[in-house]
C-alpha cells in the first residue's frame, strides 16, 4: 500500500512540475478569478512546512552514505519520504505564490527574486529526488545538493521576509540603536527632514525600490513625484483630491486604506503635516522638495509644526536673567480670585491668572508691581479690563504672554503696552480692536510672534493686510485657512452594536477626543456650532432616522459632517427562503443574511466583508418570508449598495407580494427605484417600498437587477450587480 501511495505521489510530482512550468511560461497572460484569490493568499500559511521537510531531507541525504547496513534501508526510506513530501508541498507553495503575485501590489525586484528562489527550491528538490537512485549519485553530489538547497532556501526566505517586513527588517534594530546626527532647524529641509521621515517610518516597507507595491516607491523625491500605478501621488495645492491624502483618510476597514490594517498608522500630526505639505506645493511661499523649513513664512502652519520637531543644536542660554521673588511675597499675592505661581520648578518666572469678573478691579493688577520683574504670563480672559488698566500691565517688564480675550479693552490702549520689550504672544479676540488701531502700532512690538484676533470685527481683507505688513507675526483670526489653521477633528463614531432596532433605540455617538462637543441634526441639514442641539445620551429614536453629526472643540477645526443611519424593523420572520441562487461571489449567509442585523460596507469583493452582502446578477432576488402569527405590514425596505463605478446598481424594479398562504400571494406594491444617470458618490441606503397596511402570514420580496447598464457607463449593455444586506419589514 505504501508503495502505491509513493507511486501516486511521484506521478503527482511530475504533474505539478509540468503545471508550474505552464504557469511560468504563460504568467504574463494569467488572470486569477476572485474565487481563486484566497488560495493564493494561503501561500504564507503553507510555506513553512516544505522549508522544514526539505531541510531535514537534504540533511539526511548528506549523511546517508555513512549509515550502517542495518539502518541504511530505513534511513533511505525516511529521507526519500521527507524529500518527496517536502517537494510536493513546495510545489503547492509555489503555485499559491504565483497566484498571489498576480494581485495588485506585487511588483518590484524583491518579488522577482523571491519568485525565482521559490521556483528554484522546488526544481532543485525535484532534481535531487529523481537523482538519488542514479548510479552517479555520490556522497559529494548529495552534500553539494544539501548545501545548494540550504542556500536557495535561505535566499527564498530572505526575500520573503523582505516582502513582508521590508528590506531592512533584520538590520533595523541596529540602525535605530546607532545615534542619529541631529538636524539643526537652521538647515532642516521640509521634504528631506519632515516629510520623508514619515514615509520611511510608515510607508517604505511596501513602497521602495525593491518592493513596488502598486508600482509606487516613496524612498526618494523622484519616486514621490513620479507616483504609482493609479497615478500621481498628489495634486499640488489640493490635498482634498490628492491620492495620498484620500487613501490615508479612508476608513480602516476599507481595502485601499493606507497604511494597511495591521501596520503602524499615521498619527493626526503626521496626517496634518502631509496635508499642509501638499497644499504648500502650489503656493509661491510654500513648501517644495528643496525648500528649508525656515524659508517658509513665520505664520505658515507647516513651519510652526515642523519647527517643533527639531531641537536647536546650540546650547540654550539661561531662559531668564532675573532672580525669583521671595516665597512670602508670592504667597501674599495669591487670593481666591488670583493665582500667582512659578512657571516651572527651579524657574524664577511667574504665571498670573485672574478670575471672577464680579470681583475684578484694577487694583489687582496694581498689586503685581511687587513681582513686576518675574511675571512672564498674564491671563485676564473675560474680565472687564479697561484701556486705563493697561498702564499697570505695561510695568511688567518681562511679560511674554498676555491674554486679553473678550475684555473691554480697545486697540487704542495698546500704546500702554509698548514698554513690554519681551512680549511674544498677545490675545485680543472678542475685543473692540480695529484695523486702524493695529496697523500703526504692531511694528513697535519687536518680539511679538503671535496675535489672536477672532471675533474682533476686523475684516478678512484687513487681516491679510496686517499679515503682509507684519510677516514675522502669526495672526490668528479664526478658521480662515492654513495660515492660522488648528488641527481638524476627526468625525464622531457610532457606538451602537447595530443601528437596527424593533421598537426604540438610544443613539450612541461618541468621539475619542476628550472635551469634544457633538452637535447634530435629523432634518438633513448640516449641524452648526450655535443653533444645532448638543448630542447627549437622551436621544431616543422610535422611527428610522438619519443623524448628521459634527464635532466641535475650541482651538480645533470642526470635524467633517458624518451621517449615521438608524433603521427600524418591526417584524422579523420566523423563516425565510431564497427562490433563486445567489451570485457565486456574494453568497453571504443565504436567506439569513437579510435578518442578522449585520450591515455591509463598501469593498464588497473583499473577503473580509463579502459575508455581509447577498448578490444578484444572473438571477433576481426572490425571498419568501413566513410569519407563524399574522402581522400587519405597510412597508418593506431593502438596504443596498450603489457603486456604479464597479457596476453595482439599485434594483430595476421591486415587487412586494403578500397573503395568508404561499399559494394565495397577491401583488401589493411595485416600485422602480431611481437609477444613477451619471457618475456620483457611492451610497449605502435603504430603498423603501410603502403600501396600504396588509395583514399577512407570507411575504414575497422580488427585486430584479438592472438588465442593461446605460450607455453613459463604461460597462454599457452589461448586466448590473444588485447587493442587499438587510430587509426591513414594518
CATH number for the domain spanning 693: value is 2.60.120.1190
CATH number of the domain at 358, please.
3.80.10.10
| Average pLDDT value for residue range 129-148 | 76
Residue 285 has pLDDT above 50, yes or no: no
| pLDDT, mean over the chain | 79
| Average pLDDT value for residue range 353-380 | 90
Domain membership of residue 553 as a residue range: 493-568
Cell of 426: 498677545
The lowest-confidence range among 305-314, 326-335, 495-504, 596-605 is: 305-314
Residue 699 in domain: yes
Q: Are residues 586 and 680 in the same domain?
A: yes
| Average pLDDT value for residue range 348-358 | 86
> Please, are residues 623 and 695 in contact by the beta-carbon 8 Å criterion?
no
Residue 315 in domain: no
DSSP string over 163-199: HHH-TTTTTHHHHHHSPPPPPPTTT-BHIIIIIHHHH
Q: Are residues 6 and 151 in the same domain?
A: yes
Residue 306 in domain: no
Q: Are residues 659 and 679 in the same domain?
A: yes
pLDDT of residue 262: 61
The lowest-confidence range among 135-139, 197-201, 307-311, 710-714 is: 307-311
pLDDT of residue 211: 63
* The total number of structural domains that make up the chain: 5
CA-derived radius of gyration, the chain: 35
pLDDT band for position 666 (cuts 50, 70, 90): very high
Per-residue pLDDT reduced to its tens digit, 705-724? 999 999 888 888 889 999 99
C-alpha 335/C-alpha 333 separation (Å) is 6
pLDDT of residue 313: 46
pLDDT of residue 164: 61
Residue 430 in domain: yes
SS3 labels along 200-213: HHHCCCCEECCEEH
The lowest-confidence range among 204-208, 422-426, 446-450, 628-632 is: 204-208
Domain final residue pick, 568, 596, 620:
568
- Other beta carbons less than 10 A from residue 536's beta carbon: 9
pLDDT band for position 610 (cuts 50, 70, 90): very low
Residue 327 has pLDDT above 50, yes or no: yes
> Please, are residues 93 and 197 in contact by the beta-carbon 8 Å criterion?
no
C-alpha 131/C-alpha 114 separation (Å) is 25
DSSP H helical ranges for 620-691: none
pTM for this model (two decimals): 0.39
> Please, are residues 534 and 517 in contact by the beta-carbon 8 Å criterion?
yes
| Average pLDDT value for residue range 107-122 | 72
φ/ψ of residue 435, rounded to 5: -60, -40
For 571, the 3-state DSSP assignment is: strand
Residue 116 in domain: yes
Going by their DSSP bridges, the two strands 509-510 and 493-494 should be labelled as antiparallel
Q: How far apart, in Å, do the first and last CA atoms of the chain sit?
A: 64
C-alpha 566/C-alpha 432 separation (Å) is 46
- Higher pLDDT: 524 or 39? It is 524
List, in sequence order, every residue forming a beta bridge with 689; answer none if it has no partner: 636
C-alpha 359/C-alpha 368 separation (Å) is 16
Residue 520 in domain: yes
Q: Are residues 401 and 274 in the same domain?
A: no
The lowest-confidence range among 354-358, 550-554, 667-671, 693-697 is: 354-358
User: pLDDT above 70 covers what percent of the chain?
Assistant: 79
Q: Are residues 271 and 339 in the same domain?
A: no
> Please, are residues 699 and 625 in contact by the beta-carbon 8 Å criterion?
yes
Q: Are residues 197 and 345 in the same domain?
A: no
pLDDT of residue 605: 46
pLDDT of residue 73: 66
For 532, the 3-state DSSP assignment is: coil
φ/ψ of residue 610, rounded to 5: -60, -30
Q: Are residues 386 and 265 in the same domain?
A: no
List, in sequence order, every residue forming a beta bridge with 519; answer none if it has no partner: 534, 550
Which H or E element spans position 58? helix 48-62
Residue 292 has pLDDT above 70, yes or no: yes
C-alpha 212/C-alpha 44 separation (Å) is 19
> Please, are residues 293 and 312 in contact by the beta-carbon 8 Å criterion?
no
DSSP H helical ranges for 425-567: 435-439, 460-469
C-alpha 528/C-alpha 533 separation (Å) is 9
C-alpha 244/C-alpha 247 separation (Å) is 6
User: pLDDT above 90 covers what percent of the chain?
Assistant: 25
C-alpha 364/C-alpha 368 separation (Å) is 7
Residue 300 in domain: no
| Average pLDDT value for residue range 547-572 | 88
Per-residue pLDDT reduced to its tens digit, 477-525? 754 444 444 567 778 888 888 899 999 999 999 887 778 899 999 988 8
The lowest-confidence range among 144-153, 193-202, 454-463 is: 144-153
Q: Are residues 646 and 598 in the same domain?
A: yes
C-alpha 193/C-alpha 306 separation (Å) is 9
pLDDT of residue 67: 52
List, in sequence order, every beta strand (DSSP E) within 290-440: 338-342, 350-354, 375-379, 401-403, 425-427
Which H or E element spans position 391? helix 390-393
For the CA atoms of 111, 112, 117, 120, what is the dihedral angle to 10 degrees?
140
According to the per-residue pLDDT averaged within each range, which of 222-236, 257-271, 654-668 is highest?
A: 654-668
Domain final residue pick, 507, 533, 568:
568
Q: Are residues 564 and 591 in the same domain?
A: no
Q: Are residues 581 and 557 in the same domain?
A: no
For 696, the 3-state DSSP assignment is: strand
Q: Are residues 106 and 222 in the same domain?
A: no
pLDDT of residue 38: 64
Residue 66 burial (C-beta neighbours within 10 Å; 0-12, 13-18, 19+):
exposed
Q: Are residues 617 and 671 in the same domain?
A: yes
Cell of 572: 422579523
C-alpha 70/C-alpha 67 separation (Å) is 8
The lowest-confidence range among 57-61, 161-165, 417-421 is: 161-165
Q: Supply angle C-alpha 462, 467, 471, rounded to 5.
A: 160
pLDDT band for position 65 (cuts 50, 70, 90): low
Under DSSP, the state recorded for 364 is H
DSSP string over 387-424: GGGHHHHTT-TT--EEE-TTSS--GGGGGGGTT-TT--
φ/ψ of residue 637, rounded to 5: -120, 140
Domain final residue pick, 568, 603, 623:
568
Residue 375 in domain: yes
Location of C-alpha cell 394565495: 664
Question: Is the bond into 341 cis (omega within 30 degrees of 0)?
Answer: no
Cell of 536: 447627549
- Higher pLDDT: 298 or 336? It is 336
Amino acid at each position: 500500500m505504501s508503495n502505491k501511495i509513493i507511486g501516486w505521489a511521484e506521478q503527482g510530482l511530475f504533474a505539478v512540475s509540468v503545471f508550474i512550468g505552464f504557469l511560468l511560461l504563460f504568467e504574463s497572460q494569467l488572470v486569477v478569478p476572485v474565487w481563486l484569490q484566497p488560495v493564493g493568499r494561503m501561500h504564507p500559511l503553507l510555506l513553512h512546512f516544505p522549508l522544514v521537510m526539505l531541510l531535514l531531507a537534504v540533511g539526511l541525504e548528506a549523511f546517508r552514505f555513512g549509515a550502517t547496513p542495518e539502518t541504511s534501508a530505513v534511513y533511505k526510506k525516511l529521507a526519500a519520504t521527507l524529500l518527496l513530501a517536502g517537494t510536493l508541498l513546495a510545489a503547492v507553495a509555489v503555485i499559491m505564490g504565483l497566484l498571489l503575485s498576480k494581485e495588485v501590489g506585487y511588483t518590484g525586484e524583491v518579488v522577482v527574486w523571491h519568485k525565482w528562489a521559490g521556483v528554484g527550491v522546488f526544481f532543485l528538490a525535484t532534481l535531487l529526488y529523481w537523482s538519488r537512485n542514479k548510479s552517479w549519485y555520490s556522497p559529494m553530489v548529495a552534500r553539494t545538493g544539501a548545501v545548494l538547497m540550504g542556500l536557495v532556501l535561505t535566499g527564498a526566505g530572505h526575500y520573503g521576509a523582505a516582502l513582508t517586513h521590508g528590506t531592512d527588517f533584520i538590520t533595523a534594530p541596529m540602525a535605530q540603536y546607532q545615534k542619529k546626527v541631529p538636524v539643526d532647524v537652521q538647515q532642516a529641509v521640509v521634504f528631506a527632514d519632515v516629510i520623508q521621515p514619515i514615509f520611511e517610518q510608515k510607508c517604505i516597507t511596501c513602497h521602495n525600490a525593491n518592493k513596488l507595491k502598486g508600482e509606487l516607491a516613496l524612498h526618494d523625491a523622484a519616486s514621490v513625484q513620479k507616483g504609482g500605478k493609479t497615478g500621481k501621488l498628489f495634486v499640488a495645492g489640493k490635498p482634498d483630491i490628492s491620492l495620498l491624502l484620500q487613501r490615508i483618510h479612508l476608513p480602516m476597514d476599507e481595502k485601499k486604506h493606507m497604511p494597511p490594517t495591521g501596520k503602524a498608522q499615521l498619527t493626526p500630526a503626521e496626517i496634518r503635516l502631509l496635508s499642509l505639505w501638499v497644499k504648500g506645493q502650489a503656493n509661491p511661499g510654500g513648501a517644495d522638495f528643496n525648500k528649508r523649513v525656515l524659508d517658509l513664512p513665520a505664520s505658515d502652519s507647516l513651519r510652526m509644526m515642523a519647527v517643533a520637531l527639531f531641537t536647536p543644536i546650540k546650547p540654550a542660554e539661561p531662559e531668564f536673567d532675573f532672580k525669583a521673588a521671595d516665597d512670602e511675597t508670592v504667597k501674599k499675592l495669591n487670593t481666591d480670585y488670583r493665582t500667582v505661581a512659578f512657571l516651572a520648578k527651579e524657574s524664577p518666572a511667574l504665571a498670573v491668572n485672574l478670575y471672577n469678573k464680579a470681583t475684578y478691579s484694577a487694583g489687582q493688577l496694581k498689586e503685581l508691581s511687587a513681582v513686576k520683574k518675574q511675571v512672564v504670563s498674564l491671563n485676564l480672559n473675560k474680565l472687564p479690563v479697561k484701556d486705563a488698566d493697561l498702564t499697570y500691565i505695561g510695568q511688567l517688564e518681562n511679560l511674554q504672554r498676555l491674554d486679553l480675550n473678550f475684555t473691554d479693552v480697545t486697540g487704542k490702549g495698546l500704546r500702554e503696552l509698548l514698554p513690554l520689550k519681551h512680549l511674544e504672544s498677545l490675545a485680543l479676540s472678542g475685543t473692540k480692536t480695529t484695523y486702524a488701531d493695529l496697523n500703526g502700532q504692531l511694528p513697535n512690538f519687536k518680539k511679538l510672534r503671535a496675535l489672536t484676533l477672532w471675533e474682533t470685527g476686523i475684516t478678512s481683507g484687513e487681516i491679510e493686510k496686517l499679515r503682509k505688513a507684519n510677516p514675522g507675526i502669526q495672526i490668528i483670526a479664526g478658521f480662515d485657512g492654513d495660515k492660522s489653521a488648528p488641527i481638524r477633528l476627526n468625525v464622531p463614531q457610532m457606538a451602537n452594536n447595530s443601528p437596527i432596532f424593533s421598537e426604540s433605540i438610544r443613539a450612541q455617538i461618541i468621539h475619542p477626543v476628550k472635551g469634544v462637543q457633538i452637535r447634530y441634526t435629523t432634518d438633513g441639514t448640516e449641524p452648526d456650532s450655535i443653533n444645532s442641539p448638543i448630542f447627549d445620551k437622551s436621544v431616543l429614536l422610535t422611527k428610522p432616522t438619519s443623524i448628521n453629526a459634527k464635532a466641535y472643540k475650541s482651538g480645533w477645526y470642526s470635524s467633517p459632517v458624518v451621517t449615521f443611519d438608524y433603521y427600524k424593523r418591526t417584524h422579523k420572520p420566523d423563516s425565510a427562503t431564497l427562490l433563486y441562487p445567489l451570485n457565486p461571489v456574494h453568497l453571504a449567509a443565504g436567506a439569513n443574511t437579510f435578518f442578522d442585523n449585520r450591515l455591509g460596507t463598501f469593498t464588497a469583493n473583499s473577503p473580509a466583508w463579502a459575508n455581509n452582502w447577498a448578490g444578484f446578477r444572473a438571477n433576481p432576488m426572490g425571498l419568501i418570508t413566513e410569519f407563524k402569527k399574522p402581522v400587519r405590514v405597510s412597508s418593506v425596505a431593502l438596504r443596498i449598495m450603489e457603486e456604479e463605478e464597479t457596476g453595482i446598481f439599485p434594483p430595476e424594479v421591486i415587487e412586494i407580494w403578500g397573503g395568508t398562504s404561499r399559494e394565495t400571494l397577491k401583488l401589493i406594491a411595485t416600485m422602480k427605484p431611481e437609477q444613477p444617470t451619471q457618475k456620483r458618490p457611492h451610497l449605502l441606503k435603504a430603498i423603501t417600498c410603502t403600501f396600504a397596511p396588509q395583514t399577512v402570514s407570507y411575504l414575497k420580496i422580488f427585486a430584479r437587477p438592472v438588465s442593461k447598464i446605460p450607455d453613459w457607463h463604461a460597462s454599457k449593455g452589461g448586466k448590473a450587480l444588485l447587493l442587499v444586506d438587510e430587509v426591513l419589514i414594518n
